[in-house]
Structure 1
Amino acid sequence: MGVPLNELKGATGEVLVGFKKQGVNTSDRLLGKSSTPQDRDALASAVGVDSTLLLSLVKRADIARLKGIGRVYSDMLEESGAATISELAQCSPTALHATLRRINAKRRLTNRPPSLDQVTDFIDQAKALPSLIRY
């Protein structure tokens, strides 16, 4: 099912129109059409976007597969260095929780940063999901 692409940071109106023309309207469809570098190059060309921007959107679509992750937590995870399911699966819950709290203290992104239990759940979910992005 996935999330609508307009919920992904960086998905501008122009990009969304290009995706729609390619039949890509959810994060799951984006992941399905852009798992390999060749797929991403072809989609970037068809949509008329830079391949770097497309990869950023693909990484955000990847993290959107997790339950409980909205735009703010996604931004925090990206800033922490856990921008994909594979990267998140390798994290220590305590270390990532501390990092997310530091990021939020500095940037004040939310009044409710994820708890240690939530971070542990995100990591557990990531470990259970297959990796869909190939480099």
Structure 2
Amino acid sequence: MAHYIKEIEGIGSTYASKLAEVGITTVEALREKGASPESIQELVQATEIDEARIIKWINMANLFQINGVGEEYSELLLAAGIESVEQLSNSVSELLYAKMVALNENKHLVRQTPGLSQVEDWINQSKAMQENPQQDLSNETEWSVEWSD
């Protein structure tokens, strides 16, 4: 299932139009076109969008590969210092969960903080992706929302 580019936090109509002009209309296309430092520079030049913003969006697009992350949780993960699938795979679930809960209490980034078991699942998915980099788990793994206190 393709995710529209505007699902990424911070990409509104103006930026979506600039990205569409270079053939990027989905999160997956952004991930593909932003796969190397050279291609990122090409995007910066072609769209006139600053590099830091594009890199943030590419990082969020990469996190979208994890089933259950999506728009809101990718922003929360970035706020917690997780900028890549690799960083997520190296995270300690309890520490990441605690950090996300604290961040969300202060910044209200998501309506519902994910539960510890959901964070553990994301880490497990990211580890599987590190073992098989071509694997996109966003539609393959069953998951459920765990409500936390």
TM-score, scaled to structure 1: 0.89
CA distance in 2, matches of 1:7, 1:70: 8
SS at match of 1:129: helix
- If asked which structure has higher relative contact order (CA below 8 Å, sep 6+), I would say 1
- Distance in 1 between the 2:111 and 2:15 partners? 31
Aligned equivalent of 1:55: 55
Distance 2:27 2:95 in 1: 28
Q: Which amino acid aligns with 1:36?
A: S
Residues 9 and 72, structure 2, Cα contact 8 Å, conserved in 1:
no
For the structure 1 residues 63 and 2, does the alpha-carbon distance in structure 2 shift closer, same or farther, using more than 3 Å as the test? farther
**Cα RMSD over matched residues?**
1.6
Q: Is the 8 A contact 2:76 2:110 kept in 1?
A: no
**2:76, 2:51 → 1: CA distance?**
23
Unaligned 5+ segments in structure 2 are: 135-149
| Deviation per residue, 1:61-117 (Å, 9 max, x gap) | 111111111322112111110121111111001111111111122223344211111
Corresponding residue of 2:23: 23
Work out whether residues 30 and 58 of structure 1, in 8 Å CA contact, stay in contact via their aligned partners in 2. Answer: yes
Name the count of aligned residue pairs: 132
Residue deviations 1:18-56 (CA, integer Å, cap 9, x gap): 211111111111111111111000011111211111111
List runs of 5+ in structure 1 lacking aligned partners: none
Match of 1:42 in 2: 42
Q: CA 1:15 to 1:110, structure 2 compared with 1: closer, same or farther past 3 Å?
A: closer
The answer to whether the 8 A contact 1:94-1:116 is kept is: yes
In terms of mean alpha carbon deviation, does 101-110 or 80-89 score higher?
101-110
Residue identity (%) = 24
Q: Is the 8 A contact 1:2 1:65 kept in 2?
A: no
